[in-house]
Amino acid sequence: MDRVGSSRSQRVSGEVHVIIGPMFAGKTTSLLRRIMFEGNNGRNIALIKSSKDTRYAIDSVVTHDGVKFPCWASSDLLSFRQKLGEDAYEKLDVIGIDEAQFFEDLYDFCCEAADQDGKTVIVAGLDGDYLRRSFGSVLDIIPLADTITKLTARCEVCGKRAFFTFRKTDETKTELIGGADVYMPLCRQHYVNEQTVVEAAWTVLESRKLHHQTESSSHVEAAGSAL
């Protein structure tokens, strides 16, 4: 066996652990707890977050409770190895990824880091968007995962377990960075009820806009006929 084959066979087996759930479920807190546990046990750790997340700090992962941990902010994951440096990357044992839904290359990075490089990768991110659709590539890495942890929040309305993220604003784009001012966690019953109310309000609003446009057009046509 050549040296390359020998080094690969002796490399520690990698792992992928996925933490998912709605907003305010404690995903980042759980990620930091596991990262700090690994660090306290002598393993070399690194934490990455999306550079899109600038809510609390640029170079730190921050929980909603204000707990901070230094990190690398990046727009992608596959360039992390080069940015960190080959020697430093080789010494890494554990890589944490926060706000994983924003990384398009999440699947490829987890495959490379765990399967080829023997790293333990701990991923935290939203599994669904505000419309309960798959968000980013988080669900794509479920088949790669050694463990999957689904966290829940507390429903803002009734206090029961919340599985879904409800958006308070009428912005429709999928990626909208925000905290409690934009989102709240809801149980199924109140998510469906709140979503129904919002959709009804949007329908009424659009109907009023259409009615106003029709009236405006009628006035213009009437004025034109009078001339």
Q: Would you say 154 and 161 are in contact if contact means Cβ atoms under 8 Å apart?
A: yes
| Pair 182, 176: CB distance under 8 Å | yes
Q: Assign 3-state DSSP to the chain and report helix, strand, coil percentages, each to 5.
A: 40, 25, 35
Where is the binding site, in residues? Answer: 183
Structure-block tokens of residue 84: 């960190």
Indicate if 15 belongs to the active site: no
Whole-number Å distance between alpha carbons of 105 and 139: 13
Annotated binding site for substrate: 183
Identify the burial level of 1 via C-beta atoms within 10 angstroms of its C-beta, where 0-12 means exposed, 13-18 middle and 19 or more buried: exposed
73: closest CA among 86, 59, 57?
59
Catalytic residue among 15, 38, 86, 99: 99
Report how far residue 155's alpha carbon sits from residue 186's, in angstroms, rounded to the nearest whole number: 4
Number of H helices, E strands in the chain: 6, 12
Residue 62 CB partners (closer than 8 Å, separation 6+): 28, 55, 56, 68, 69
In the block, which residue shows the tokens 């429709």? 172
Please, are residues 97 and 108 in contact by the beta-carbon 8 Å criterion? Answer: no
Which are the catalytic amino acids?
99
